[in-house]
Amino acid sequence: MSRILGKFTIAFTVFLFVIFLGGPLVWLVSMSLKSPIEILAYEPKLLPNEIQLGNYQEALEKSGIIHAFINSVVISTVSTLVICLLVVVPAYVFARSKGILTKGMSLWILISQVFPLSLLIIPMFLSMQRLNLVNSQFGLILIYVIINIPFSLWLLRSFVLNIPKELEEAARIDGATTAYMIRTVILPLLLPGMVVVAIFTFVNVWNEFFFALVFLSDPEKATLPLKLAQFLGSEGRGRFGALAAATVMAIIPALVMFGIIQRKFSDNFLAGAVKG
């Protein structure tokens, strides 16, 4: 009886969790298929009386969202790849080193996560201006790399700590250099951690709005969040149907990437468990 009650409790909890997370997404999709009258109705319904695909047509044709979509894909992908390449060796050194320097680095990472990034916008803007990187996608990528590296480094460090040191000692006994050992022993075991870092970075950059608003003034270089904000007019009035349709399309790439990478993460995790 207790086992049945436990399974029921788990299933009910998962059901509530799915409703909590999936409810807003379902409502968003529903709103993207409604007419303006239905969206602003006093008692809105979940299902539209008549499916309106014109919202998606308006979002695609009249807002320049496709070009912004491409900009976001490029900026998010490049930022993710650069961070994944930069944090591997520092995360290994950070995890294996002991001493004052390591403790100081840990403190710096924690402080960087607590400190409000909005307070750094003026010195960052002045620095980018001196480097002629304002209104530049390269400059925006550089900013995203800088602000996302500390947490990514801390995150990957925890994965390094879970790798047994005996594997490294065995590799050193066989005459492997540190670089060779990291490439052939540590890096394959860090793939799940790299997947987590990639998901974290991609989603953060994909959804980022504030820095893109400050550093990009050319509409041709605008990212997707900036274009989505243009659907809202003054005093909260806007094209809510087109905004919902554009938001649905903006969510799809992150969901696809998460699905692909999450499957790769599960495969690597299970393979490691079987080998262990």
Asked if 80 and 181 sit in the same domain, the reply is: yes
Q: Which of 246, 240, 210 is nearest to 227 (CA)?
A: 246
Query: What DSSP string runs through 19-40?
Result: HHHHHHHHHHHHHHTS-HHHHT
> What tens digit of pLDDT does each residue of 252-270 get?
777 777 777 666 555 554 4
Q: Which of 114, 73, 105 is nearest to 87 (CA)?
A: 105
CB 233 within 8 A of CB 166: no
> What tens digit of pLDDT does each residue of 190-204 get?
888 888 888 889 888
Asked whether residue 93 is assigned to any structural domain, the reply reads yes
Asked if 124 and 195 sit in the same domain, the reply is: yes
Asked if 108 and 129 sit in the same domain, the reply is: yes
Asked if 194 and 241 sit in the same domain, the reply is: yes
State the residue range of the domain holding 44: 1-52
Q: Which residues contact 173 (CB under 8 A, 6 or more apart)?
A: none
Q: Supply the pLDDT for residue 2.
A: 66
Asked if 129 and 216 sit in the same domain, the reply is: yes
Asked whether residue 58 is assigned to any structural domain, the reply reads no
Asked if 122 and 7 sit in the same domain, the reply is: no
Number of domains in the chain: 2
Spatial separation of the C-alpha atoms in residues 64 and 58, rounded to whole Å: 10
CB 191 within 8 A of CB 262: no
The CATH number assigned to the domain holding 265 equals 1.10.3720.10
First to last CA, the chain: 35
> What tens digit of pLDDT does each residue of 80-124 get?
999 999 988 888 888 877 777 777 777 777 777 777 777 788 888
Asked if 145 and 193 sit in the same domain, the reply is: yes
Asked if 99 and 208 sit in the same domain, the reply is: yes
Q: Which of 26-40, 43-57, 72-86, 255-269 has the highest mean pLDDT?
A: 72-86
Spatial separation of the C-alpha atoms in residues 130 and 45, rounded to whole Å: 53
Spatial separation of the C-alpha atoms in residues 176 and 181, rounded to whole Å: 6
Q: Which of 147, 63, 70, 57 is nearest to 109 (CA)?
A: 147
